[in-house]
Amino acid sequence: MRFIFAGFGGQGVMLMGQILAYAGMIEGKNVTWMPSYGPEMRGGTANCTVVVSDGPVASPVVDKAEVVVAMNIPSMIKFQDFLTENGFFFLNKSVIDREPDRKDGIKIYKLECNEIADKLGNLKVANMVMLGAVIGATKIVSKESVFKALEKKLTGKKAELIEINKLAIEEGMKKVSEQ
Amino acid sequence: MRKLLYKMPESLSGKEFTYCPGCHHGIVHRLVAEVIDELGIREKTLVVAPIGCSVFAYQFFNMDGTIAAHGRAPAVATGMKRARPDLYVFTYQGDGDLAAIGTAEIMHAANRGEKITTIFINNAIYGMTGGQMAPTTLLGMKTTTTPYGRDAQKDGYPMHMCEFLKEAKGVAYLARTKVTTPQDVEKTKKAIKKAFLAQIKGIGFGMVEVLSTCPTNWGMDPISAMKWLEEKMVPEYPLGIFVDKVGDEK
Amino acid sequence: MEKVMVKGTEAIGEAAIRAGCRHFFGYPITPQSELPEYMSKRLPEVGGVFLQTESEVATVNMLYGAACTGTRVMTSTSSPGFSLMMEGVSYMACAQLPAVFVNVVRGGPGLGDIQPAQGDYWQATKGGGHGDYKLIVLAPSTVQEAVDLTVLAFDLADKYRTPTLILADGLLGQMMEPVTFPEFRDLSTLPDHSSWAMTGAKDREPHIITSFDIDPYILEKMNLELVEKYKEIEKNEVRWEEFMTEDAEIVITAFGTVARIAKSVVEMARKDGIKVGLFRPITVWPYPYEPLKKLTEKVDLFFDVEMNMGQMLEDVKLAIGDKKPVAFYSRMGGVVPTPTEIYEALKKEIGRRV
């Protein structure tokens, strides 16, 4: 399964992809995480591509994706045509105030990630709310694996953020199950 | 009873110098070798020869040696010293090598306080390539690339490496000397010893700039060349000790 | 060993340390700065030395100096930086100094950009610096392979007393994949260089290391020694991978990251019933001419894909000669071709030939 995570720099889209890839690895799957990089990373748009597969991953570069996560409008516009038939399109409704052009033959999920994160007490976990929705809808990896990945990735001073990130994942899963 | 008063330093290989008559490289080579002998570090010393007339220096010294790319001797020496801090490393460089193409390397090695020693021969000209202008060529001086004399407007000014380097905090010893008289030879030897001690004691970078003759490319006989050095070079490049953090020997 | 997720650049750094590298000299340049950053943090932990240099020119000469003492030493850079190192690489090849270089290739020529490219293939495999010399050039296509080839690069450098090069690109450098690292090499088991290294002339004749002799007849002898060595390397060290070539009628040739993208193209084509395979050189010098030539017996069309104007294409053609047609597809300037793009180009090529 191929994933594209895209948004503004600072929205944590790189981390979303990394946590998913990590969780895939923990489950013994083959994974790649590939970032866009360059000057645009600093405050501009950022995106990363994740491939999770039972067999070896051939190309880490994708031009089609089963899952596209757009955290802002430019990302929605840029990546909507990457979606395969029956693909999953996740939109951060807190930022995206319009409809995508691509609607037919795909599953669209809209979440108010920022508001949900804010209610949890930290706007920064909006990305994990979205990741929760992604794993909830796609079932690509288990919640437990994502939690383990968070524990691996958030170490040192960042360890204190593990709990709120877990809450965000759970909240995202819950919200997506209601859609 | 016979007493040995004078012999070839052990730190020289015995291979005959290939330098021109009246050139000061030979004197300075010997001084370096004497100092290394006296410090008892020959078996732990590595020599980095430059590109220039002294490209063969590694053959004249009786120790492990190499030739660095043009100007890069301080970088090569840095690599050696960082890999083997228990050994002593010195570079032997001319003015084209050190003060033109290699300015970045010498500046940064000095500024890092790299524990290496540099012997810098300033004879105001490119020797090996046939008498072209060096960064240290004097104003008005004719060379094969300044046939009308060095013109400050066109060619810039003589380069004062000691004056530049003395500002670098990593420098532990820095001096400019000459070897035209026996007294000067003694002074130069002392300076070279201190530049090595700066390394041995782990204080920092040490360098001795030696004003030298190049009778061949200056177009003079050796005696006139010595006179020219005294009269023309010394006023442009004042002798002296610029930095000394080594202190007096006990 | 446990698998860990790491970036390609960091994976190379950790692999180098495990291979016994304790000295790294480097200058920042995108897209590989994570490697010196990683080494600056990691080397002091294992008693090693990291030094940020004043330039790539200084870097390569520091490698020269460190290699003279017989230690395992490494640097990494990206295209313009590797160009600056060329003089020193040539010196090291002639002086027979082992060291490992990493070039995380970016778009060029000139300042170019900072995106992945393969435009330094010629520089890496055909010379780059002055004079007659060769580098062993390893082209990984996955992060795990980057780890394995980094270790190999050190071993080959020591075995043949030659600089070796990991030819990567920005994509491999930046991407993360799970990898297994090898165990730490016991430093006391590393190859013994005491017969030539500069370690102080105690109780022996001085060791002289140069890339120089003023006598052409002696220099020619030094050249011939290198020639012999290169022949030996060509005999022993050719490495390549074949993917679904057994029944292939069309074979894609590609190296590094692009080969990996091409693997997806093979899978796409197979789904459509087109018998496509992949031939991927792992050593781009020495180049696997013979195994590629062998494929001409059953393959009808070769399709070379690169991120340059057709540099490896020359080697592909050298191997294949006029036995079979060779088509070519490329993107340049840091543009990475997608699997679909390559597949469409391949189908067009097939259509042209039916």
Q: What is the mean pLDDT of residues B130-151?
A: 96
Q: Spell out which chain B residues touch chain C, with contact meaning CB-CB distance below 8 angstroms.
A: 13, 42-46, 48, 55, 58-59, 61-69, 72, 75-84, 87, 104-105, 107-108
Q: Where does chain C show beta strands of DSSP type E?
A: 4-7, 23-26, 49-52, 73-77, 99-105, 136-138, 163-169, 176-179, 208-209, 240-243, 250-253, 276-281, 283-285, 301-306, 326-330
* Contact assessment for residue C211 and residue B67, using Cβ atoms and an 8 Å cutoff: yes
In a domain, B195, yes or no: yes
Q: If DSSP codes are grouped into helix, strand and coil, which group holds residue C284?
A: strand
Q: Which residues, listed in sequence order, are joined to residue B208 by a DSSP beta bridge?
A: B119, B175
Q: Residue C127 has which token pair?
A: 């010379």
Q: What is the pLDDT of residue A40?
A: 52
Residue B250 has pLDDT above 70, yes or no: no
DSSP assigned state of C209:
E
pLDDT band at B248 (very low <50, low <70, confident <90, very high): confident
- B163-204 pLDDT per residue, tens: 999 999 999 999 999 999 999 999 999 999 999 999 999 999
Residue C314: Cβ within 10 Å count: 15
Residue owning tokens 């010379």 = C127
B-C C-beta contacts closer than 8 Å: 125
- Inter-chain CB proximity C176 and A34 less than 8 Å: yes
Which helix (H) or strand (E) covers residue A85, if one does?
A: strand A83-92
Q: Which string of DSSP letters, residue by residue, matches C220-274?
A: HHHHHHHHHHHHHHHHH---EEEES-TT-SEEEE--HHHHHHHHHHHHHHHHTT-
The structure tokens 């259509």 sit at C351
Domain region containing B72: 25-244
DSSP assigned state of B143? B
* Partner residue opposite B64 with nearest CB, options C61, C71, C199: C199
Q: Which of C21, C22, C54 is best to mutate for the B interface (most B CBs within 10 A)?
A: C54
The answer to whether C346 and C269 are in contact (CB under 8 A) is yes
Mean pLDDT of chain B: 96
* In CATH, C4-236 is 3.40.1000.10: no
Mean residue pLDDT across chain C? 97
In whole angstroms, give the CA distance from residue C322 to residue C196. Answer: 46
Closest CB to A22: pick one of C5, C260, C266.
C5
| A19: closest chain C residue by CA | C5
- Residue C161 three-state SS: coil
C113 contact residues in A (CB cutoff 8 A): 38
What does the CA dihedral B232, B235, B236, B239 come to, rounded to 10 degrees? Answer: 120
Contact yes or no for C265/C120 (Cβ under 8 A): no
Residue B206, pLDDT > 70, answer yes
C202 closest CB neighbour out of B43, B55, B65 = B43
Is the residue at B18 inside a domain?
Answer: no
Spell out the domain ranges in chain C. Answer: 4-236, 241-353
Are the beta carbons of A139 and A119 closer than 8 angstroms? no
Task: Count other C-beta atoms under 10 Å from residue B26's C-beta.
Answer: 17
Q: How many domains does chain B have?
A: 1
pLDDT per residue of chain A (179 residues) written in tens, 0 to 9: 999 999 988 899 999 999 999 999 999 999 999 998 765 545 577 899 999 999 999 999 999 999 999 999 999 999 999 999 999 999 999 999 999 999 999 999 999 999 999 999 999 999 999 999 999 999 999 999 999 999 999 999 999 999 999 999 999 999 999 98
Token pair 């033959």 is at which residue?
A105
- Nearest of B66, C235, B247 to residue C227 by alpha carbon: C235
Domains and CATH numbers, chain A: 2-177 (3.40.920.10)
Q: Which of B61, B63, B79 sits opposite C66 (nearest CB)?
A: B79
Give pLDDT, residue A38.
65
* Domains C4-236 and C241-353 agree in fold: yes
- Does the beta-carbon distance from C65 to B80 stay under 8 Å? yes
Q: Point out which residues pair with C210 in neighbouring strands.
A: none
pLDDT number for residue B1: 75
Size of interface A-C (CB pairs under 8 A): 68
Where residue B234 sits, what CATH number does that domain have? 3.40.50.970
The verdict on residue B2 lying in a domain is no
Q: Could you report how far apart the first and last alpha carbons of chain B are, in Å?
A: 32
pLDDT digits (tens, 9 = 90+) for C20-43: 999 999 999 999 999 999 999 999
Assigned domain for B11 exists: no
B130: its two tokens: 């046939």
The residues, ordered by sequence, that sit 6+ positions from A72 with a Cβ below 8 Å of its Cβ are: A6, A7, A8, A11, A45, A92, A95, A96
Residue B249 confidence (pLDDT): 63
Residues of C engaging A, defined by a Cβ cutoff of 8 Å? 3, 5, 30-31, 113-115, 170-171, 174-178, 257, 260-267, 336-341
* Residue whose structure tokens are 């051939």: A58
Q: What are phi and psi of C235, to 5 degrees?
A: -70, -40
Residue B116 has pLDDT above 60, yes or no: yes
What single-letter DSSP state applies at residue B147? T
How confident is chain C (354 residues) per 10-residue block, as mean pLDDT? 92 98 97 96 98 98 98 98 98 98 97 95 96 98 98 98 97 96 97 98 98 96 98 98 98 97 97 98 98 97 98 98 97 95 97 84
If one counts every other C-beta atom within 10 angstroms of the C-beta of residue A154, the result is 17
Range C241-353 has CATH code 3.40.50.920: yes
Distance in angstroms between the alpha carbons of the first and the last residue of chain C: 51
Chain A contact set for C257 (CB, 8 A): 60
Q: Does residue B92 lie in a domain region?
A: yes
**Angle of helix A126-138 relative to helix A113-120, nearest 10 degrees?**
120
What number is the ipTM of this complex? 0.93
Contacts of C335 in chain A (CB under 8 A): none
Within a domain: residue B10? no
**Beta strands across the sheet bearing B88-94:** B240-244, B171-178, B205-211, B117-122, B88-94, B45-49, B64-67, C208-209
pLDDT at A10: 85
Residue C187: per-residue pLDDT: 97
